[in-house]
Structure 1
Amino acid sequence: MNQTSKDGTVKPKRKLWRTRFKMARKTSAFAPRVAADEVCIPDLSDDELQHWGEYILLSDATSVLHRDGTITRRAHNITKLYANELLAQWDEVYRFYDRNTSLHKIQTAKVYLPDGSVRKAKKVVQPYGQTSLNFYPLRPGVTVELEEQQDFFIPDRIAACMWGQEYLQFAIPCRRLRFTVAIAEPFSLDYKLHRTDAEPRTWKQGSYQVYQWDLHDIPGYETDDGTPHPRDVLPWIDITTLASWKPITKFYVKDLEPPARTPPQIQKLAEELASDDQSTEDKIYSVYKYSSEDVRYGRHPNELNLEKTREMGLMLEDMRGDCKDKSSLMVSMLRHLGIEASIAILLTRMNGSVSFLPGARFDHAIVCVTLENGDRLWLDPAGGPVTFKDIPYNDQGTQALLLNSEGGELTTIPEGGPQSQQVSRTCEGFLSEDCSYQFTAEVRTSGDTAMELRLKYMYRNQESTVLTLEKELASHLTGARIESPQFINLKDISRDVSYSYQTTLDQWSRQIDEIILFRIPWLGSMQTAGVVNVQKRTSALQTPNPIRFTDEHKIKIPSGYQGYGLPYEHNLECAWGRYQATVYVENSHLICQREVDHRGGIVFEDQYPEFKKYWEACTRADALDVVLMKTPS
């Protein structure tokens, strides 16, 4: 039976001799070396190289967890290059390692020229564990080979374990991809397949259990600005030897948890901030406002690589801290006020939304407050000037580890949907017979849009704010004249951001004899977002982030005119959005109402025709002219 520690991790066995003497460990028994001749023949056509810019001939990765809890990683890559920007990436290749805890060896570094000759890359060993490789000469059609191994002589910082992931497809084609994992007793491996059913070949090699994926002729996955994160669309493998999240929690509690005894200066600060507050919500808001606004984001350069939170006294001296510093400060103050709060660590949405097996894969820290009724309130004091009770979309729907108890709690941060990210506009104006449209607008924003407006404007003076807001509003409507732009609420983060302005659109409509063709200047018009600009996609599409646009125009129409073909209504819906618009005439006013929900999500290749059909129908509805006809005398 394996010996386990109190936090559930497996206790490693005695050290290997090669670990003691800091020598490289052998891995060829698990994955025999693949020679370049095995993958370089047959040669690639120029058409393939010109299409992709490069072509991976071999991607061979081996990860070994030894009985003493140390790890060996070997990587062997052979790539044929063509595009200039990709050639430039191989001019100089750097590797860094800590000589006290690991050993890094370059086993092969070569350039294969089109004429059949071979050149060795120049290796320069620099101080402080840095190695520089210069591949020369490089020109279209060369093949570069890099084989390297790194041996770690102390276990992972979390515990004696191994965790990680490997993609089974890349943005460019790969002739052969091999991924090998060898786990020594007493450890055991847990793996999870994502978007693939490729089970590994397994066998016993001495005291090691070996898992190997060996794939051939993998097509490239063409990407563009609309392609989602690779973890959400490509096949990949998640691996870990950790049986639970307990050791992860233990590690981060040690680094991030505020002191059990709240420092006197933090006690005093919390009491001063909440001195005038009556309710629990008021106290939470006061602490959040201070942590979010008064404590600026960042750290001194000499503290950037420190994983622990800053000492509270230092934070109060220079009023600065990163996400974990701000969260720790906020939790410390809330606890002193008798409010249950915990730090939550997560991997933000920009890095994909698929959940991981246990491992230290986090890039952000926020705060979770447990209210008196048991509900949870998620707050991000480092997310920017976010409205109280809102949370940036980048945090929503992600896997989070709450550092609130022994072993922690793995949960998912709720997604607010389009209703939590709103832009709502109300307009009232008149349409002249000369086809000009003048209106006054009031706009209310919430969620990320409100945060972005605060980031852009809250530290500007009045003159700069007016000028910049005028330019921004005019940029969405060609020829628009913007007057009197002003924020109704900008700096109060307890409320949504609102602003107003007046607009004149000269000759906005078209007049044909006694007919006026009027196009409604909808807010967030779908004509301006070219997400369906191709007939067919060869990769998935990331749809716009969730947001709701609500727009209403009450327009006084010219005397003697009436609507033709009104009222009309459009109701469109699919899995990724909803569109609803109505236009009618009431008491000599044209009433135009529209609500659009972008629901977010991923459109895979086979779903693209459905999404394209929906988006194009919405675009046509946005562009539809309202017909006003002059009635006979």
Structure 2
Amino acid sequence: MKALLPLLAALPLSSFLLLPAAPAPKYAVDDIPAALREGAHAVLRADDEVVAVKSAGRVVRTVHRVVTVLDPAGDDFGRHAVSYDALNTLGYLRGAVYDADGRLLHQLRASEIHDQGVGDAGGNFMTDVRIRYADLRQPQVPYTVEFDYEVASDNALFYPDWQPQDEEGLAVQNATFKVTTPAALPLRYQERQLPKGTAVARSTAGSLETYQWQLANLPAVEEEDAAPPLAHTTPAVVLAPGTFEVQGHKGTSATWQGLGQWSYELNAGRDVLPPATIAKVQALVKDAPDARTKARRVYEMLQGSTRYISVQLGLGGWQTFPASSVANNGYGDCKALSNYTTALLAAAGVPAYVALVGAGAGRPDLRADFPSSQFNHVVVCVPLTQAGRPDTLWLECTSQTEAFGYMGSFTGNRHALLITPQGGQLVATPRYGAAENRQERRLDLFLDDKGGATATARTLRTGLEQDLYAQLMHELGPTDQKKYITDHLRLPTFTLTRFSLAAVPTKAAPGVVETLSLALPGFAAPSGKRVFIAPNLLSRLPALPAQVGERQTPVWLSDACVHADTVRLHLPATFKPENLPAPVQLSTAYGSYSSQYATLPDGTIQYVRRLEMKRGQLPATAYAGYLDFRRKISAADKAQVVLLMTES
């Protein structure tokens, strides 16, 4: 044996140890077709999602997602987050990152996966929702990330949707979606914006039905100007249950009536108020002349005695706190405050209903042809009449400052699901059009003979036009209000010397009046013996960039409005008008515009401008006309008055 030791020692170490081979490269960047890299910040190499409907109350979703990040603008795709809560269990989250050649750089370790509660950052949250996230971004691009995860849901009110191309600048190389469901629970689905020729593949094996979709080689998309949101333009398949169960509460979403019935029964009996609260309400409204006055007093009582807190605790996402809880504690989420308000109104003798709505400024209306839970907010509907005609009142119960009966851009101009004892009824929330959404401005511009100027402006905004300014008025102090306005005035050199905001009642919609004063040094600098001035200081509408390539999406005009301006240009004795711009009159399918100039008897130059924009959706072919409309408005808004300097 001793004689063998020198021989063994002379053998290479590899004769004794078999080191594991490095993993074979995969997801090399060179394997991406050049057409998919063009205009893309990232490419979705694979998005393989499987949804398994286990029963009326349980759904399991598994996802395998691979994204190649091509440039720093796509870095956000290098991290991934998955939410979970008491009704949604996260089974696992795994990840890996690869270099440009597809070589494994790093395998995600458990210690690198962060876990955080949604309410951890503070704010008005009472929630069991948590987020588990991983960050595999790399200092050098390109690189590829791979994530796998599984979520088992005991909340079968919601089925997962599939929209692989959900971000601008993301190309899709391959994506698959597979759904299995018991034949006794037929799948409800709606295909949206799928490429021509894409079709679902259906099969049956025993008691299970399988549905499969596949997308491949989708170039990156860029959000076009005046276009619908990306969610309404890229391929998607949305799912919804027929029958479902959440923690023992069974229901159906096959019809709006059935979905509303489930919500009504889930919350039935939770509208009982303490006797003291009932007595307070009845005393409050005893001399009110009509139902609307009663509702106003109840709403003011609500705003003065409650505050909003978001509650997302298991079934608490859909089942309200009892009205007695809000009465005793003074807080609640949108469901609880709305339920409490209907109870207060009932005590006042005014019937009312809660209504489910998809809230959010700029959020498109729900898909009325696909009954399903498309809601994230609750409001109150009070069906009143006036002179024998419907005069429905809507109340936003989470705000302590919102005007009585006003929905605004958050919940207006869309549908809501009215929850009644007979089930759900799809109804329209208030519509805010050009008559309500107005901006009316009077501006006086005073020139001096040194080339400087001062200006004063009073602007009344109503309806959707006042939403932002009402928010500034209620949420920021005067100093921060002034800073915001200063930062957003598009003027070359100025000083904001005075500024204020004030709420004013108007007949059509709530309003906010803004008053400001400006110092404009060097505003009217002479050019020889002439001075050139564009009187439209504050209301210019910019032109849109020219369309690159063929327009892909419809023209989406989100809101109707009217902007009316009167500007008076006060001249020193040494300035005389030499030339005034010609009047402009435009009338199109997109809206109308007019501007005109006149010299008043006292020598003041008056400029009057009116712009009305329509609301609606037009075909992609209409974009060229819309571009031309905006270009002509922009040119007219920049028109200059020519003044001649005379001897003093």
Shorter-chain TM band = 0.7 to 0.9
Whether 1:355 and 2:357 are equivalent positions in the alignment is no
Tell me the TM-score normalized by structure 2: 0.75
Whether 1:609 and 2:620 are equivalent positions in the alignment is no
Aligned to 1:15: none
Whether 1:422 and 2:438 are equivalent positions in the alignment is yes
2:162 aligned counterpart, secondary structure: strand
**Aligned-partner Cα distance in 1 for 2:456–2:105:** 71
Aligned to 1:340: 351
1:613 aligned counterpart, secondary structure: helix
Paired amino acid for 1:104: G
Aligned to 1:167: 163
1:208-261, Cα deviation, whole Å (9 max, x unpaired): 333222222122223489864322222322332322124422343345567454
Is the contact between residue 532 and residue 615 of structure 1 (CA under 8 Å) also seen in structure 2? no
- Give the count of matched residue pairs: 586
Paired amino acid for 2:586: L
**Aligned-partner Cα distance in 1 for 2:474–2:437:** 20
**Aligned-partner Cα distance in 1 for 2:103–2:445:** 76
1:142-201, Cα deviation, whole Å (9 max, x unpaired): 44444444455x5x454xxx6443226443111222222233222223332323353312
Runs of at least 5 residues in structure 1 that lack an aligned partner in the other structure? 1-35
Q: Tell me whether 558-567 or 131-140 shows the greater mean CA deviation.
A: 131-140
- 1:395 Cα deviation from its structure 2 partner: 1.4
1:492-524, Cα deviation, whole Å (9 max, x unpaired): 999522243444444433444554432113443
The structure 1 residue matched to 2:568, chosen from 549, 554, 561, is 554
Matches within 5 A, 1:110-509: 110-112=96-98, 117-118=103-104, 121-122=107-108, 124=110, 140-152=141-153, 156=155, 158=157, 163-167=159-163, 169-171=165-167, 172-196=170-194, 198-223=198-223, 228-242=228-242, 243-254=254-265, 259-275=270-286, 277-292=288-303, 294-299=305-310, 307-349=318-360, 350-355=362-367, 357-372=370-385, 373-382=389-398, 385-428=401-444, 430-458=446-474, 465=478, 468-469=481-482, 472=485, 476=489, 477-483=491-497, 485-487=499-501, 489=503, 496-509=511-524
- 1:354 Cα deviation from its structure 2 partner: 4.5
Q: 1:370 to 1:434 in 2, by over 3 A?
A: same
Is the contact between residue 327 and residue 343 of structure 1 (CA under 8 Å) also seen in structure 2? yes
Q: 1:537 to 1:423 in 2, by over 3 A?
A: farther
Paired amino acid for 1:277: A
**Aligned-partner Cα distance in 2 for 1:484–1:140:** 50
The structure 2 residue matched to 1:578, chosen from 550, 567, 592, is 592
Is the contact between residue 502 and residue 513 of structure 2 (CA under 8 Å) also seen in structure 1? yes
1:166 aligned counterpart, secondary structure: coil
- 1:545 Cα deviation from its structure 2 partner: 4.8
Q: 1:202 to 1:258 in 2, by over 3 A?
A: same
Q: 1:488 to 1:244 in 2, by over 3 A?
A: closer
Q: 1:496 to 1:414 in 2, by over 3 A?
A: closer
Runs of at least 5 residues in structure 2 that lack an aligned partner in the other structure? 1-23, 116-127, 243-253
**Aligned-partner Cα distance in 2 for 1:390–1:353:** 18
Paired amino acid for 1:395: T
Is the contact between residue 274 and residue 327 of structure 2 (CA under 8 Å) also seen in structure 1? no
- 1:369 Cα deviation from its structure 2 partner: 1.5
**Aligned-partner Cα distance in 2 for 1:225–1:310:** 43
- 1:370 Cα deviation from its structure 2 partner: 0.9
1:418 aligned counterpart, secondary structure: coil
1:560-612, Cα deviation, whole Å (9 max, x unpaired): 86655557322234444432222222323322111223445668765443332
**Aligned-partner Cα distance in 1 for 2:176–2:479:** 59
Q: Percent identity?
A: 17
Q: 1:435 to 1:145 in 2, by over 3 A?
A: closer
Paired amino acid for 1:297: Y
**Aligned-partner Cα distance in 1 for 2:402–2:295:** 14
Q: 1:474 to 1:333 in 2, by over 3 A?
A: same
Whether 1:77 and 2:65 are equivalent positions in the alignment is yes
Is the contact between residue 293 and residue 385 of structure 1 (CA under 8 Å) also seen in structure 2? no
Q: Tell me whether 46-55 or 517-526 shows the greater mean CA deviation.
A: 46-55
Is the contact between residue 458 and residue 490 of structure 1 (CA under 8 Å) also seen in structure 2? no
**Aligned-partner Cα distance in 1 for 2:316–2:192:** 32
Is the contact between residue 443 and residue 567 of structure 2 (CA under 8 Å) also seen in structure 1? yes
Tell me the TM-score normalized by structure 1: 0.77
Q: 1:220 to 1:272 in 2, by over 3 A?
A: farther
Is the contact between residue 548 and residue 595 of structure 1 (CA under 8 Å) also seen in structure 2? yes
**Aligned-partner Cα distance in 1 for 2:164–2:76:** 26
CA root-mean-square deviation: 4.4
Q: 1:409 to 1:423 in 2, by over 3 A?
A: same
2:345 aligned counterpart, secondary structure: helix
